[in-house]
Amino acid sequence: MGPVTWNCPARGAAPSPELALVCDRRRASRLLIVPALFDESNRMRRFAADLMRALDRRGIDSFLPDLPGCNESLRESAGVTLPDWHAAMAEAARHFSASATLGIRGGCLLTPPGLPAWHYAPAKGSAILRQMLRARLLAAREAGREENREDLEHTARASGIILGGHILGPSFYSEFEEAGPTIPAHPIAQAQLGGAGLWLRAEPGDDCKQAETLADLLAQGLAQ
């Protein structure tokens, strides 16, 4: 398992290189993993890597691409739109010859059509934004600044906003606020894995037992 680069489409420009963590032994089952988004991605990155190792032990190749403007991406997050992310994951599925997809949390909003899909603890765009706004309000209060949700939402829709260090343009914010999963998928609830979801932790963490359980569920589904 290791990093590779892949060419991600860019509007009005040549494709740009993005990183992906891959475990590729050229097997028939090839799972594209669309990561959780924003701060949840950081909290669940180790879990995703543990999941890929568990899938490898079950004979399944897996691919975890960066989204444009996130993680190690060289693209500026301010100019990224939700259609950019949809196009990126569709191209990642094609590039890695994926036979199925798994969305994690907000990644469920971006699983490309045309392939069997599993959605682990799916989250709507509005719910993710509420969490990010809540975190900003708490940080402002601790710093002695007065902010309120209504003003922040108005600013975000009019001119964009910075949430958790991520620059969200006004078009992206408005599109993401209305976003929900767009394709049929097999749901996987957190209760099926046992324990609390890792995205709820304050710091990045892992849980090998949950990763193994999720790998078992996916292996069973892919075998059918």
61 or 73, which is more confident: 61
**Antiparallel, parallel or unpaired: β 161-163 and 166-168:** antiparallel
Say how far apart CA 150 and CA 38 lie, in whole Å. 22
pLDDT for residue 205 is more than 90: no
Please choose, from the candidates 105, 40, 36, the residue with its C-alpha nearest in 3D space to the C-alpha of residue 66: 36
CA distances (Å), 56 to each of 13, 19, 80, 105, in order?
36, 20, 32, 22
Torsion angle of the four alpha carbons 50, 52, 82, 67, in this order, in degrees rounded to the nearest 10? 80
- As a whole number, mean pLDDT of residues 36-57 equals 95
Say how far apart CA 185 and CA 102 lie, in whole Å. 9
- Model confidence over 11-31: pLDDT tens digits? 766 788 999 999 999 999 999
Among 61-65, 101-105, 117-121, 200-204, the minimum mean pLDDT is found in 200-204
Please choose, from the candidates 158, 159, 162, the residue with its C-alpha nearest in 3D space to the C-alpha of residue 147: 162
Q: What is the pLDDT of residue 51?
A: 98
Q: What is the pLDDT of residue 1?
A: 85
- As a whole number, mean pLDDT of residues 129-138 equals 93
| pLDDT band with cut points at 50, 70 and 90 for residue 75 | confident
> Alpha-carbon Rg of the chain, whole angstroms?
17
Q: What is the pLDDT of residue 12?
A: 65
Q: What is the pLDDT of residue 80?
A: 85
Q: Is the pTM of this model over 0.85?
A: yes
Q: What is the pLDDT of residue 10?
A: 76
Q: What is the pLDDT of residue 79?
A: 80
- As a whole number, mean pLDDT of residues 184-189 equals 96
pLDDT for residue 116 is more than 70: yes
- Non-local CB neighbours of 200 within 8 Å, separated by 6+ positions: none
Token pair 């969490």 is found at: 131
Domain boundary assignment for the chain: 2-124+182-217, 126-178
Q: What is the pLDDT of residue 101?
A: 98
Mean pLDDT value across the chain = 92
- Model confidence over 159-186: pLDDT tens digits? 999 998 889 999 999 999 999 888 899 9
Are the CB atoms for 185 and 120 separated by under 8 Å? no
Q: Which two tokens stand for residue 76?
A: 């500026």
Beta bridge partners, 8, equal: 16
What's the one-letter identity of residue 177?
E
> Any idea which architecture 2-124+182-217 has in CATH?
3-Layer(aba) Sandwich (3.40)
